[in-house]
Amino acid sequence: MGLVGSRLSAEADGGQQQHQQQQRNAATTTATATATAAAVAVTPFASGGGGVKGCQAPYLQTGGPNLSATGSQHTRSGSVRAAPRQPMPDTQELERRFTKVLASMDLPPDKAKLLKQYDNEKKWDIICDQERVQAKDPPSHYLGKLRTYLDPKASRSHRKRKMVGESTSTQVLRDLEISLRTNHIEWVREFLDEENQGLDALIDYLSFRLLMMRHEQRLLESRANSEERIQSTTGTSETAQLNNGCLRPPLHELKDSPGVKRRSRHVARLNMGEAKDDIHVCILCMRAIMNNKYGFNMVIQHREAINCIALSLMHKSLRTKALVLELLAAICLVKGGHEIILSAFDNFKEVCSERRRFTTLMEYFTQYDSFHIEFMVACMQFVNIVVHSVDDMNFRVHLQYEFTKLGLDEYLEKLRHTESEDLQVQISAYLDNVFDVAALMEDSETKTAALEKVAELEDELGHAHDRMAELERESLAKLAELETELGAMKVEYADALETRRLVEEELAALKRQKQDSARRQSVLENKIMELETLTGTLTKGASVANMRNGSASTSPVSDGPTQSMVNSGSPLPEVPAPMPAPPPPPPPPCPPPMPMDPLASGDYKPPPPAPIPPPPAGMMQAPDGAMTIKRKVQTKYKLPTLNWIALKPNQVRGTIFNELDDDRLHSYIDFTDFEERFKIGIGTHLANGTNEIDGLQSFPSKRFKKPENVSLLEHTRLRNIAISRRKMEMPVEKVITAVNALDLKILSLENVELLQRMVPTEQETKAYREYIIEKKNVNLLTEEDKFLLQLGKVERISTKLSIMNYIGNFFDNVHLIAPQIHAVISASSSVKCSKKLRAVLEIILAFGNYLNSSKRGPAYGFKLQSLDTLLDTKSTDKRMCLLHYIVATIRLKFPELVNFESELMYIDKAATVSLENITTDVHELEKGMDLVRKEFELRGKEKHNTVLRDFLNNSEEKLRRLRSDARAAGDAFRECVEFFGESPRQADANTFFSLLVRFARAFKAADLENEQRRRLELAAAEALSTSEEVIKRNKLNQKKQQSPKFCCNSNKSLLHRHLNELELKT
């Protein structure tokens, strides 16, 4: 930069300093780790770049020790304001030249932004001033003097001493620092280029002066140590001897050494300044070089330069130390700078013989002679950046421990209440970002315990979910059962209401008849009185004779049968009219009561029957292996035919029916009542002739809008592809990547199924290939065609999608198929081993043979589908079917068989299973597993092969067990079906077990209906008994109220006959 640039930079420093203060204040509230928090108090940076990424070159403040401002040899070509001002060009030219001037000044971005906000007048002044400024001396002028100072032979050369002149080395370095800071950026680049190699010369001179300074410091330390040893000796009389003895400091020896003498003479002859002053100005020159990105990159790439800067910390001036720490902190913030700084301090440790790294720095920080706030802030800022700009937590803890061992933590406790705000900011930033290892360990242990607890809770939650699912399934099953029972109870309740209504109507009719009987009785009494009055008017003899003849001829006929009917309790025939009529015929004798009526409504309860004796060995099979011929049953009435499917004798061998003997049940079951109830009479069968027609309407689909672009797809195919793509909402590149990687995390199972329907066919692939061969524009195709075109380029896409679909559905299919297989195995075993089912089938065989043996001959067994026909065979009054009677018989004779369905476990679940579908599903799973194995072998050691390897490791054993269980289920079902005389090829699990489920439900429903019918009949019998008692009581009351004055036999006979007629009507 020129003088004008330096001045403008100083003008912009006001806003920059305010920004610095805001950054420092912000650090008190943001305790962030890494370099951001640590660099809160670091000076701002100018725009960086070059070879260092993500960092900016530091904009470093000027300053230095109090050096005497001797006359500078660095002059300029006249005053800036002296020359006349040129006319201002147009705006475009002005902006171009101003941009060029800013580029040459290499200002920080914030300061360049401030200058760009100036008006055109000020911009033109800057351009004119900058163009007038020219550097008088080239970089070689200063580099020649520096190399002369470094030349050991220069002190003996008169020409080189004359070239150096009267100026001291400190003044030369000062002029060089001003030129580096104020000249154009091209001057700085020329100083650093390959020809001049200014950075190497400056580093060499700095290293030389550091060596001289260390010699001087060792001389001073040796003198101080000698004086301390002298003062520590006892007695003043020995002081002189000690001064001349061995305890005298060997200062003269150090001064008289050849190397020191030569350097001293060299320095004196070349008029070189003090080493400490030269070192300080060299550091300022280094800062000026680092103030632009080109110089900054060269410095951090020069490892010896960083080492020399770090060794400059041995300078006695605290301002110099602060400046060095600022430079090191700026380097530490760039990428790779942290390692460079640590390497520099490792070199510092080796050179200065430190026991620990950073020992000298911490001694300067904690054991100062005078409190220097700038040094304290710079030192604390450097520690912040070194420790907290590391991403690795372990390395940060290591660096933190280094400073802790050097006593930093204890010293910071003393400085916590310092009055310096800047120092307090840096201390707070360090303490806020310190890693407490003990707390971290405690947090880690707490986290581990928490994770274990979470895992335990997740396991408990999983068990709870499983239990809840099981309870839900049980509750659903129970709910279904309760709903069935509720439906049956509703039907029963409706029937009970209907029965109640009928009983109430009957009672109302009986009350009306009773009232009519009372009125008729009153009328009859009046007629009797009239007759008695009439008889008094007749001739006594004739009347008595006629009346006696009438009594003799009437009374035996009317009293006898009527009284016998009333007393016997038999049903009385109705009298067609209340007038005298011929006497009714005597009632037939009551039939004898049935010894065993399973549907009787009385309270009679037979004693519990004995269990069915087992059939004797060899009863059903002859010694030669042939079936015993069964006898035909002769029935009293013609009975309906049971349309079952009977088994032939040769079909019974090896089945359950080979063990059944229905003939022996004739001694336990009385079929007389059965014949009475099921004899064929005149009746009509009701049939439901209604047919339902399912009228489905087909609605035409909406027409798909014809795409504007070209499409090689059929219209419906194009519409389906468009719909599927909208559902996926995923770019084709991502889809192809997921398909090749078999990644079900990116591509969901639903999208895989969509893609399987979208894979182009051979015709579509051929069409796309011809389209590309003809070099037609692919961009004219629709998005759907482009999508299919990209899919068609994927190798074996159909196979990969099938594998993804198989992997995604495998465990769900296994969890779906396994319970079905277990249900078939359990149901087959329970049905085959059920003893109660055998007894029930034996009873059904006995009833079927009783119905059919006279027409079709006895059957030795029947197909289980014949159980459905038990509901079709109705009784004579059509009020009950054959199953009702069989159930009633079982409840009366064999009550232990009523709950036979309790032995048939899992048949309801097995009734929903198709064993053929299970076999097909298992076979498909095996085919899919073979496909996965082939793909795994084909891919070899690809990185995506881990998906297939993990799947094979987790699924092959499950598939093997599933295949074994499916084979066991097929064997168990085949044995069960053959045991019941069915063909395994014609019967599937759902068909076979559905028959048993329907039969068990029909059996239970019939039992409930029988119980309901019994209750209704019992209630009707109680109502009839109550009505008969009322009639008898009324009859007795009427007899008591008859007058004794009527003694005429004819009148009594007439009265009794009318009463009997009334009672019969009632």
pLDDT digits (tens, 9 = 90+) for 872-882: 888 888 888 99
For 773-809, how does the pLDDT look when each residue is reduced to its tens digit (9 = 90+)?
Answer: 888 888 888 888 888 888 888 888 888 889 888 888 8
Q: Select the more confidently predicted residue: 606 or 796.
A: 796
Judged against a pLDDT cut of 80, whether residue 343 lies above it is answered with: yes
Burial (0-12, 13-18, 19+ Cβ within 10 Å), 519: exposed
pLDDT at 28 over 50: no
| Number of other residues whose CB lies within 10 A of the CB of residue 279 | 27
Query: What pLDDT was estimated at residue 578?
Result: 37
Instruction: Kindly tell me if the per-residue pLDDT of 364 is higher than 60.
Output: yes
Look at residue 1064 and tell me whether its pLDDT is greater than 90: no
Average pLDDT, integer, range 42-46: 33
Taking the complete model, does pTM exceed 0.75, yes or no? no
Among 191-195, 579-583, 933-937, 1040-1044, the range scoring the smallest mean pLDDT is 579-583
What's the average model confidence in pLDDT over 357-373? 84
Q: Enter the tokens of residue 221.
A: 């330390």
Best CA proximity match to 290, nearest among 278, 312, 277, 305? 305
Taking only the tens place, the pLDDT of each residue in 276-301 is 899 999 999 999 999 888 999 999 99
**Residue ranges per structural domain of the chain:** 1-31+61-67+83-133, 137-229+250-289, 439-590+1028-1066
Q: Are 127 and 97 in contact (CB under 8 A)?
A: yes
Q: What is the pLDDT of residue 131?
A: 66
Q: How confident is the model at residue 339 (pLDDT cuts 50, 70, 90)?
A: very high
Residue 1030 is predicted with a pLDDT of 83
pLDDT of 702 > 60? The answer is: no
Confidence of residue 686 (pLDDT cuts 50, 70, 90): very low
CA separation, residue 564 to residues 244, 570, 590, 1057 (Å)? 173, 9, 13, 14
649 within 8 A of 860, measured Cβ to Cβ:
yes
From the list 256, 252, 255, 228, the residue with the least C-alpha distance to 242 is 228
For residue range 558-593, list pLDDT tens digits in order: 333 333 333 333 333 333 333 333 444 444 443 433
Residue 639 confidence (pLDDT):
82
Three-state DSSP string of 947-982:
HHHHHHHHHHHHHHHHHHHHHHHHHHHHHHHHHCCC
Q: Give residue 649's pLDDT band: very low, low, confident or very high (50, 70, 90).
A: confident
Q: What is the mean pLDDT of residues 164-178?
A: 84
**Average pLDDT value over all residues in the chain:** 74
Q: What is the mean pLDDT of residues 384-399?
A: 90
pLDDT classification of 438: cutoffs 50, 70, 90: confident
216-231 tens-digit pLDDT? 878 877 777 777 777 6
Q: Is the pLDDT of residue 133 over 50?
A: yes
DSSP result, 259-292: HHHHHHHHHHHTT---HHHHHHHHHHHHHHHTTS
Share of the chain above pLDDT 70, in %: 71
Q: Output the pLDDT for position 1046.
A: 43
Predicted confidence (pLDDT) at residue 323 exceeds the cutoff of 90: yes
The answer to whether residues 23 and 41 touch, using CB atoms and an 8 Å cutoff, is yes
Task: Kindly state the percentage of the chain with pLDDT values over 90.
Answer: 21
pLDDT the model gives residue 613: 44
pLDDT tens by residue, 463-480? 899 889 888 888 878 887
| Tokens matching residue 227 | 């004086």
**Looking at residue 344, what is its pLDDT?**
94
pLDDT at position 258, please?
A: 53
